Structure 1
Amino acid sequence: DCSYDNGECQHTCVPRKTADWCECASGFKRVNITRCEDIDECFEGIYNQEDCHICHNTEGGYNCTCREGFLKVADHQCEDVNECDERTDNCDQICVNIDGGFRCECYAGFEWNSAAVQCQDQNECAQPNICDFQCNNTIGSYTCLCPVGYVLIGRSCEDMDECEINNGGCDHNCRNVPGSFSCSCRNGFELWNRVRCNDRDECATNNGGCAQDCLNSQGSYSCSCFSGYQRINASYCEDIDECDEVRCTHTCVNTPGSYFCSCSLGYWLNEDTDECIGGGSMSAHSSDVIAHCFHRMPDGFLRTEL
């Protein structure tokens, strides 16, 4: 009878038509008709194991304790603490939140130094064959270098064809070679200052091989002969025998590069026409011959009276 001594129930007596009934409070279980016993939720595993990390049984219930890195947000619930958002981490570059903690990561080109607890520059140049020629380490990265005359393609050095750009600066011919280039000149020119082509004065050396006159021109030269000579080849000028043209009225005497006319006794030489003017008798003896001679001078000479 619930009206008398709670029906001898330890917790709650529930009246019924047939017979009263004893009920146990939440967190307890009946051990007999009237007695109740605490349920050990931790032992029996009937607690929220996902949200409750460490279970502590209590009279009629249980309490939870959270692991490090978690925060208790309710009696039976632990929630992860985001150290990265709360800036409680000690990462100097990248913080990644994980359950119950965090981990530090580094930017590309850096690596984690657990002893120093920070990110330090990664020396990529320590890796073998990372660059074709020379590696230059920089903070967080690296650069590849090439020798003069080569261009960097990716991490490889390829020969630069200097001749493709403005003919390498050469006046005439440009020839590409590995890592460099060379200039050359056409015939009649000589290389100066590695790229310039200056005219070669062929006449300055041994008169260009000419017998008489040597005329230098841009990239070449030509040979010519003095007046009164004709060119046989570059190295030989032959005297012209003007007397073959029978210019004189009486006597023609060929001389090197010129000629002169003479007239018989009693005649005078017309210097303009090379004709003998006048008349008279000639002795048969050479000693009786008195000639008036005119020596035609080569170009560039003046006649003077003797």
Structure 2
Amino acid sequence: MYSQDINECLSGDHGCDVNARCGNIIGSYFCQCLQGYSGDGHSCYDVDECAQDNGICEHECMNQPGKYSCVCSTGYTITADLHNCTDVDECVSSNDTCEQTCTNTAGSFLCSCRGGYQLHIDGRSCVDIDECKLQNGGCSHECTNTPGGHECHCPFPLLLDHRNTTCVNVTSCALRNGGCDHICSLGAEGRIHCTCRAGWELSTDQRTCIDVDECVSFNGGCEQVCVNHAGGFNCSCRSGFESRKDDPSKCQPMCSPPCAHGGSCMRWNVCLCRPGWTGEGCHTAVCELPCANGGRCVAPNTCQCPSDYSGPQCLIPVTTPCVPPCQHGSICGPLNTCVCPTGTSGIRCEKLTCPVVTTVVSMARAVRKGFRESYVDRCGPLGVQLCTKYRINQARVYLQAYRVGYKIQCPDKTR
């Protein structure tokens, strides 16, 4: 007889603890406590992992039902192994930790302040120390508090000594330049006299130099824009103009591209070109007679011709000698072909189709020929004697000559 197994784990007809796992077997079942619990499976209780070696946690161990976790102290953070702790650098991780200086410590940080400040009771902010309230800041006369410090001042005509605390009488330019901003000199009566460099003027305290605004008076001599600066000024030009090289206070129109070939910039980007040039920036040459056959005007009345034409306007074809050369007076034509005269034939007109006859032309040629002739002239002392003398004279004579030639003589075609 066959009997079917009952799965007690599915039917719920088992006695396993809620923190245990139920496993079915044929005819029965078993109970096993889950990880983090201990017991026989029918009764399971939580295991406190923190009770043994603090759960291997570096700082604090927190037990939980069926598990545990490690917790770090303030100022530390848990590492990737979830057991150890590493220090948190609060000076890097937060921008508002300290107002001025932050120093990291193990698990914490410390705030400090620069000289002239003291740490607030909140341990983070810095408060300015008013040194003038403490023995007048060490000043013999006037004390002015500044953020993080203080300054001592003296009534006129006293000056601070080298320690910047005590006011003394001025008797030499060696101490703080006699109190002068620029130039200190000692007068005849031993008094300090202050003067200013060019572009400055002495103020009413006879020590301080203040800038002179040259642009107020006649625009500083600038034609367009005057820009004042400490001790001087600069002239500049409005848009579309540039300073002249010979006189930086004057402006001239600016052309872009610059006017070439001697052209003059009349106003912004408008050039007045010299004869023979035109176009933007005077870069285009003018040829009164146009360049033919693909020629290009490159300079006033100057054409740049293609390789097969020449002449002022590229009108003359360039004749290239035939190779091999044409014979018997033939002319080289296009495409390296010969144009044969009457009585010749062939590729190079090398064949004669008519006989060659000799021609003789008689011609007389006039030449000058020298000859010697005699004549009688006075000679001797006082010219009382007669002597025969000789001289070379020239006469025109005609020489008979003959010119021999050859020609192709073809018979006349008659019907």
**Normalising to structure 2: TM-score of the pair?**
0.38
Cα deviation, residue 200, structure 1: 1.5
- Equivalents in 2 of 1:246, 1:89: separation in Å? 114
Greater relative contact order structure (CA < 8 Å, 6+ sep) = 1
- Equivalents in 2 of 1:237, 1:183: separation in Å? 38
Q: Which residue of 1 aligns with 2:92?
A: 164
- Please say if residues 168 and 174 of structure 1, whose CA atoms lie closer than 8 Å, have aligned partners that are also in contact: no
- Equivalents in 2 of 1:138, 1:129: separation in Å? 13
Cα deviation, residue 239, structure 1: 2.7
- Equivalents in 2 of 1:229, 1:133: separation in Å? 67
**Structure 2 CA distance for partners of 1:174 and 1:246, relative to 1, 3 Å:** closer
Paired residue for 1:245, among 169, 176, 191? 191
Paired residue for 1:110, among 37, 53, 56? 37
Cα deviation, residue 167, structure 1: 3.3
**Structure 2 CA distance for partners of 1:135 and 1:228, relative to 1, 3 Å:** same
Cα deviation, residue 80, structure 1: 3.6
Kindly report which structure 2 residues correspond to 1:117-136, keeping only aligned pairs within 5 A, or say none. 117-130=42-55, 131-136=57-62
Q: Which residue of 2 aligns with 1:186?
A: 114
Q: Which residue of 2 aligns with 1:205?
A: 134
Kindly report which structure 2 residues correspond to 1:59-70, keeping only aligned pairs within 5 A, or say none. none
Letter in 2 for 1:86: S
Letter in 2 for 1:212: H
- Equivalents in 1 of 2:101, 2:107: separation in Å? 17
**Normalising to structure 1: TM-score of the pair?**
0.50
- Measured against aligned partners, the alpha-carbon deviations of 1:128-150 in whole angstroms (never above 9, x if no partner) come to 14211111112222222222111
What SS is found at the alignment partner of 2:31? strand
| Unmatched segments (≥5 aa) in structure 2 | 172-186, 194-415
RMSD of the TM alignment (CA)?
Answer: 2.5
**Structure 2 CA distance for partners of 1:110 and 1:168, relative to 1, 3 Å:** farther
* Percent identity between the two aligned chains: 36
- Equivalents in 2 of 1:204, 1:97: separation in Å? 89
Cα deviation, residue 100, structure 1: 3.2
1:148 has 2:74 as partner: yes
- Please say if residues 170 and 192 of structure 2, whose CA atoms lie closer than 8 Å, have aligned partners that are also in contact: no
Paired residue for 2:13, among 79, 82, 88? 88
Letter in 2 for 1:173: T
- Equivalents in 2 of 1:108, 1:246: separation in Å? 96
- Please say if residues 150 and 160 of structure 1, whose CA atoms lie closer than 8 Å, have aligned partners that are also in contact: yes
- Equivalents in 2 of 1:246, 1:113: separation in Å? 108
- Equivalents in 2 of 1:181, 1:227: separation in Å? 50
- Equivalents in 1 of 2:192, 2:102: separation in Å? 59
- Please say if residues 162 and 168 of structure 1, whose CA atoms lie closer than 8 Å, have aligned partners that are also in contact: no
